[in-house]
Structure 1
């Protein structure tokens, strides 16, 4: 039997308290770690989420944990999930389940005490792995350990059935391939994703964007994105995507998921903002994508021009566009431009309406025209620190 070794989280006092409580109510082997923590530990990745499966019903788990003095939150009790907080660490605890009814978005479940039955409803074999508190791994599908070690992402059972239960599994297939897969995606799974790609329209935008951003945060998402394109999945999300050259170049140069996403969007700020809104992305990300859609900037852009762009667009927008340009020109050094963006203190317009009032100008539309002309000259002259009064006096004499 395969066993996890050297995992401090298995023997921590927080874990011990949770398992002691559950086993006091359900007996030995009534709880096991499941999914990501087991998979990650097996392949030497960091473990930061703790999912536990148990034979206990949700109410029994809650009662057992509360009796042990452990805080419990009923985070998803209708589907059998509660969260125990032990020594400030969250443990998501879910009763063993089987699906009674699914509609492609959500499931009606029944509880069971059969580990194999619980494994059969999970998405991928490398996620259908369980480990007891000693680190002993249980692999009900018989191939989960092998898949994890070989970098294979394979559906549990028939991939068409798994996808029809929840169409989000299409994106999860590509996301896990990006993070854990080898050189080629599983052919049967890929074909099933292609056949059911239209089902993505039935999902909420929030669920789609969450999976997408996780995928784009992978160390190298290029193979997964190409597989999505080949399966007709990418065009369901971004119909305007024509080529992936810019995405490939940028993904090799930057690990920023938002920046990588910008390379999949059209170089049209309004269109990029519309797509971001459609994905229900946070407003800050929407604004950033719209700004980055101004197009790549040449990394060798001169300092004077860079300062003007930073003043008008903001540091983040210019930095993103320089990075996009750097992706397209890997031979160009982006460091000088990025250093300037970082260190240059963006000045404020040194004059305002009060200065014009002191010169005897009555407030009105002319104020704005004079100040706009002053700002344009000030930027063009590379933000001089003095001479403001003389410039303002000269411009104020112009007919506007």
Structure 2
């Protein structure tokens, strides 16, 4: 392998990172850039394999990388297809309005919005959870100042809700698939994460005094829609039970659930020639999946040249709890997917408590800046008043909530693990 290749691959990785950070400036989809750079990185590794031994190592590394990506991709594809169907049918929106009263104080409504976003994001991907939550906020016709408070709580709650469930956040799923935490360990994270959300909602609700009037929307739900919603819930429960009792990989449980969804739709007559049930797969966020593919290819290539050793060095120079907290802060600037992938590929040695703390940190830390998470970017694109500067006004409240949640994870791990 020539001496210049490691430097070239590192430069390409930084270029990909810049494309992610500056996506709104350069107006080029980050998925397109990182996919190109990720694939090219491995092409160069193969092209400059100087001997058969090096070539074999690169081949082995690629097979491992592709296997990890396939498991993540297929799981997300199944979960996102379920959500795409239920969202298209209006079932999610219908459930929201069924639980909301016609009149409620804005203070109470802010806390309820945070709770809904928290719960829903643990079942669905962050983008879908944010879109539904933002639609609810906009339907309230609040003033710009109040809308900002609601949006801030929603972004933080969406990111917090995902950390305790493998269905809710990609970084949580990645850490789980790497064997660092179990599903039952992750479920314990819901308590400190919820504490942080309630703290933020309480802090931001102090100035709210008015009453909100909610316009209820009624959707006619067919039996097949309710049946598929039930299948989705059962799939999640079966995934947890199957993994705990029989160590069944979650991707198998979700693919089984997805196939049952297709068969049930066919039995109810929902799968027709004009409206095939498989069309819902085309409605998921494929640019998000391609982004994960590109990022994981880039990080995998960096592992081959041992460029991730610096992450291990960081954990050697400071306590793991401090380094994890710092990683959470970094995830507000650096996308948490490549950050988490790099840490996992670097094979940092930590205790279960410390891996749980990292899971919380990289999952929630992106909430500190509006550009730090997919939830923030989506909310900013839908709410005109929400900008980098307007969101930054709540930074003190956000970092207090993040720090309290992180500290709660450490205490939880100390007493329960």
TM-score by length of 1: 0.22
Greater percentage in helix: 2
Greater percentage in strand: 1
TM-score by length of 2: 0.21
Which protein has the larger Cα radius of gyration, Structure 1 or Structure 2? 1
